[in-house]
Structure 1
């Protein structure tokens, strides 16, 4: 659904009026153009701030990506700022990088990027180092609320012993610099291991992979199927028989396989595994996208509303995961499971106690599933969308919808493709070192952490 207000404040006389009266002016975000794979990764110079081996290593890699890399800059627009804060030992150590970053923030261009690299604290850290690393999180979350014109700020958080040149670290940096992360801001992606491989072709990292997407007939699920296909995957779309026509249309579009099934049926996992094995011989990616809402205040919640939401949103995922854990031979290179959570599951939402229960449950299940999949070189991660422009949100009353759109740092709703880009990133081989994480795609929604 089109955001009329966003269009008005970005064109003609209404743009001048909005500026004059100090009205919110959400920017048009730079997103991936599927028709132009040669589009630049970053629009402008990338300034890497910081000294030491980590900063040198990353700067060299960015040069290898044919970016315009600077270590300092005076004058002109900046495409991205990379703040190297991986070697802090005390709070005062951050001052030099922050001093350099301050003036450059004013030069950050539209849809610019700020990416902070830091480390996760450990129990062995001194109080001073622990304070410094905790402070970095406050820094990037605050910067994400300060940047303007569609710019974002995020962090790559490295566990102890993980190098900045680890595949998942470089993959995360590339994702956060790119247009693919347009609606991701104020987030930290933790890299826990050196696992993974960098793709030979960054435009087709999923070449040769097979991906199953539930709820693929429309909306976010259909867009996930399209992006996975764009990235090189063979896609199997699953949806209920009632959505069969839409599902067939989407699968025809991406050259995939359509499977009509009720995911709450206990026989579905075995049937799905059999079909995938028969057709492709392997399964590399499973995207749990299917979900429903049956909103009511808890005081008015009926048993069927609660049970139906739990059955689709949570129990169906659990039984599918259990079946796949029992058949590791189907995923010889390790299975990537990406589950759709929600910001409602992080902060709660009025009238959605059943939905929030299931989406918080997805996050908990993801954390528990991660080490089990890691035993077979797999990963489990979740993506938590905020307000996304879909058929469902289009039915929200107009005034309520406008308010919901503005309740994030980017002051607008996201698009289904924003969720799909995050899913595809977590499904890719270079993301193997990211496990058990929940990535919010919410424009730094003002509710929740």
Structure 2
């Protein structure tokens, strides 16, 4: 569904009126398009005194030819900035936190549209010096606040990079500094050492087999399309009632369609039988809502949501593991929701199921790491789908505007995030939840 407010706010008369009244002025976000020549199309400014920049230096020219350092770039002589990286890993005191202000303040008035900012640090829990740990923890408050100030469709993320995880930084930069992360902002992730690497950045999932549940339409279809674009051979799963749409999408993507009720008692055995060659990537996207205030919710409504949203992902993954179908160094991605983080009126069953998926990722990550398998949750916020298009006007507009980016996301935004977590090098991220919500004010 089109967002008419954004269209109006970016028209000639709309810009004047919105500015005069002081209304939010969200911009059309730039998203990844086929044929893009460089991950970063514009100037990249780097700064900070940490050691992480040295490990990144060989890859900067693969991102963009226009790389500037803080002393060499000035607002008066430098180009407008499309991306920024600040290495804060050497900050070990409260006094040194002023380096953040000194780096970012001159640049904020000289940003291009839809800029992307990445701050790098060390995990506070890994530092013995209490002051160093304190200073590194302070980066979270700064990065999230900057995300709410940057405007112009910009995003800000913080990556805590553990010792030994430096080789996986390029993959993170190719996601967080590009339009692939257009609707991801205000996020804090931890990278750990990982032995897997992407061999071909044009097709990072080449040779991988990926299963996507709930794939017939909407976000599931977008995920399947994006995984296939990145080189994966896709297996698309949905309920038998969606067989026609499922078959059509599988034919277009050169994949395989599997019609299966994931809540059925024998769903695990049927899935194992449908995957004789096993699988490398599992995306649990299938989910339902049956909303009602708790005082009016029937046991059947509660149980149905739990069966589809929470129990099925657990049981299907367990069946794949027990039968040797999930390959070593595999990737599991669970589609949660910001409702599972912030809660939502009338969604106690849905929010509980999605919070459970976040807990499942955290609980399973240590055991799966022994086989090089990562498991993470992706928590979308307000995404423009058939479901949100059917919402009443007032809650739909509130969902769109209550974020730092002032708009809803697209299924592609969720799909790009899943595709990044599915990459070999993204085994550096596990047991975590990544929100795709435009830095929603709900649960922020």
TM-score, L = length of structure 2: 0.96
- Counterpart contact for 2:158–2:189, Cα < 8 Å: yes
Deviates more, 1:373-382 or 1:438-447: 373-382
- Counterpart contact for 1:172–1:189, Cα < 8 Å: no
Q: Return closer, same or farther for 1:249/1:433 CA change in 2, 3 Å cut-off.
A: same
Q: Which residue of 1 aligns with 2:6?
A: 6
- Counterpart contact for 2:127–2:133, Cα < 8 Å: no
Q: Which residue of 1 aligns with 2:247?
A: 248
- Alpha-carbon distance between aligned partners in 2 of 1:131 and 1:359, rounded to the nearest angstrom: 31
Q: Which residue of 1 aligns with 2:410?
A: 415
Q: Which residue of 1 aligns with 2:27?
A: 27
Displacement after TM superposition at 1:427 (Å):
0.4
Displacement after TM superposition at 1:123 (Å):
6.2
1:146 and 2:145 correspond: no
- Counterpart contact for 1:189–1:437, Cα < 8 Å: yes
Q: Which residue of 2 aligns with 1:289?
A: 285
What secondary structure does 1:122 align onto? helix
- Alpha-carbon distance between aligned partners in 2 of 1:107 and 1:66, rounded to the nearest angstrom: 18
Displacement after TM superposition at 1:4 (Å):
0.8
- Counterpart contact for 2:329–2:371, Cα < 8 Å: yes
Displacement after TM superposition at 1:92 (Å):
1.8
What secondary structure does 1:116 align onto? strand
Displacement after TM superposition at 1:336 (Å):
0.7
- Counterpart contact for 2:250–2:257, Cα < 8 Å: yes
- Alpha-carbon distance between aligned partners in 2 of 1:186 and 1:65, rounded to the nearest angstrom: 22
> 1:433-448 alignment to 2 at 5 Å?
433-448=428-443
- Counterpart contact for 1:162–1:191, Cα < 8 Å: no
Q: Which residue of 2 aligns with 1:131?
A: 134
- Alpha-carbon distance between aligned partners in 1 of 2:15 and 2:52, rounded to the nearest angstrom: 43
> 1:258-407 alignment to 2 at 5 Å?
258-277=257-276, 281-328=277-324, 330-407=325-402
- Alpha-carbon distance between aligned partners in 2 of 1:364 and 1:163, rounded to the nearest angstrom: 24
- Measured on the aligned residues, the alpha-carbon RMSD in Å equals 1.4
- Counterpart contact for 1:343–1:448, Cα < 8 Å: yes
Q: Which residue of 2 aligns with 1:172?
A: 172
- Counterpart contact for 1:152–1:184, Cα < 8 Å: yes
**Residue among 78, 93, 112 paired with 2:96:** 93
- Alpha-carbon distance between aligned partners in 2 of 1:185 and 1:322, rounded to the nearest angstrom: 32
- Counterpart contact for 2:50–2:88, Cα < 8 Å: no
- Alpha-carbon distance between aligned partners in 2 of 1:144 and 1:124, rounded to the nearest angstrom: 26
Q: Which residue of 2 aligns with 1:67?
A: 65
- Counterpart contact for 1:114–1:152, Cα < 8 Å: yes
Displacement after TM superposition at 1:195 (Å):
3.0
- Counterpart contact for 1:335–1:373, Cα < 8 Å: no
Q: Which residue of 1 aligns with 2:164?
A: 162
Q: Deviations over 1:395-415 (max 9, x none)?
A: 110122111100000000000
Q: Return closer, same or farther for 1:124/1:30 CA change in 2, 3 Å cut-off.
A: closer
Q: Return closer, same or farther for 1:335/1:122 CA change in 2, 3 Å cut-off.
A: same
Q: Return closer, same or farther for 1:173/1:384 CA change in 2, 3 Å cut-off.
A: same
Displacement after TM superposition at 1:124 (Å):
5.1
TM-score, L = length of structure 1: 0.95
- Counterpart contact for 1:10–1:27, Cα < 8 Å: yes
Q: Which residue of 2 aligns with 1:107?
A: 110
- Alpha-carbon distance between aligned partners in 1 of 2:327 and 2:264, rounded to the nearest angstrom: 27
What secondary structure does 2:106 align onto? helix
Displacement after TM superposition at 1:320 (Å):
0.8
Deviates more, 1:52-61 or 1:244-253: 52-61
Structure 1 moving runs of 4+ over 6 Å: none
Q: Which residue of 1 aligns with 2:420?
A: 425
Q: Which residue of 2 aligns with 1:44?
A: 42
- Alpha-carbon distance between aligned partners in 2 of 1:64 and 1:218, rounded to the nearest angstrom: 35
- Alpha-carbon distance between aligned partners in 2 of 1:194 and 1:87, rounded to the nearest angstrom: 23
- Alpha-carbon distance between aligned partners in 2 of 1:291 and 1:203, rounded to the nearest angstrom: 31
- Counterpart contact for 1:49–1:101, Cα < 8 Å: no
Q: Which residue of 2 aligns with 1:187?
A: 187
**Runs (5+) with no aligned partner, structure 1:** none
What secondary structure does 2:361 align onto? helix
Q: Deviations over 1:99-141 (max 9, x none)?
A: 1221012111110011001111126522211210111111100
Displacement after TM superposition at 1:54 (Å):
2.1
